[in-house]
Amino acid sequence: MNSIITLPDFESLARAAAEHLIKLAREAIEARGCFAVALSGGSTPRGAYALLATDELAGQLDWSCIHVFWGDERCVPPDHPDSNYRMARQALLDHVPLPAENIYRIRGELEPEEAAAQYERTLRTFFSASPEQTVPEFDLILLGMGDDGHTASLFPGSAALHERNRWVVASCVDKLGAWRVTLTPVVINSAANVTFLVSGAGKAESLRQVLTGPDQPDHLPAQIVKPDGARPLWMVDGAAASLL
């Protein structure tokens, strides 16, 4: 089952997403003194990040208790225009009092397999994982969805969709001719909260197929997101939801 919230437009979606993150962060910090979030790339979350950077919303959070990770990254340097880290830094991280040591980027400038292995070590250290620990537990993982149904860097036909042991893998996206580093389904589905942010009419047909069509995650990777502890939350704008 999925939980779906439809907002009238992009601006409403961005604000709702920002307020959703604030709510979960404050709850986690009050309960455990820490909030671990994995950010998504893309234009839709960028709107939410920009709002979180405003004085109105940034002041509602204790940034010293927030730890920022990424769900995936392109294999490019951190200052490259395609870098998910660069986007989040410019939209949000440069504008809030988040300690530098609380930012855990995927090192896309490394060889893909090395970057994936290093990021998994980073996660295991942060979550104090033993070698036999099977899952980390993020408080929130933000995800987008492509018009082909991909999410994070889990693309149709990707071997990463069937990974059951590793937390992070490198994946070559053949249709793009590019390498990515991505969290695997085992990590995504262990999060306390998983939230998709989807906007635009171009996503409407894929969203309809993902939410109402047959279960075929090899074809529509977003369908593999089935968190153990909760239903995934879909926050979508009216254009993306037009075929539901």
Arithmetic mean of pLDDT over the chain: 95
79: CB partners within 8 A, 6+ apart:
86
Contact 196, 222 (CB under 8 A): yes
Is the model's pLDDT at 46 over the cut of 80? yes
pTM above threshold 0.75: yes
Contacts of 102 (CB under 8 A, 6+ apart): 63, 64, 66, 67, 68
Q: Is the pLDDT of residue 162 over 90?
A: yes
8 - beta bridge partners?
none
Greater confidence (134 vs 175) lies with: 175
pLDDT at 127 over 70: yes
Which strand ranges, in their side-by-side order, compose the sheet holding 168-173? 72-74, 178-183, 168-173
What pLDDT is recorded for position 176?
81
Give backbone dihedrals phi and psi of 207, rounded to 5 degrees, phi first: -60, -45
- Per-residue confidence (pLDDT) for residue 177, from 0 to 100: 85
129 vs 70, more confident: 70
* pLDDT at res. 232: 95
If you ran DSSP here, which 8-state letter would residue 124 be given?
H
- CB atoms under 10 Å from CB of 50, counted, come to 16
> Which of 62-76, 120-134, 178-192 has the least mean pLDDT?
120-134
Q: Where are the alpha helices (DSSP H) in 133-192?
A: 185-188
d(CA 123, CA 117): 10
- To which residue do tokens 């961005």 refer? 14
User: In 3-state terms, what secondary structure has residue 174?
Assistant: coil
Q: Is the pLDDT of residue 131 over 80?
A: no
| Predicted local distance difference test score (pLDDT) of residue 130 | 65
Q: What is the mean pLDDT of residues 134-155?
A: 94
The secondary structure of residue 85, as a DSSP letter, is H
- At 69 the three-state DSSP class reads strand
Q: What is the 3-state composition of the chain as percent helix, strand, coil, each rounded to the nearest 5?
A: 40, 20, 45
Per-residue pLDDT tens over the stretch 9-39: 999 999 999 999 999 999 999 999 999 999 9
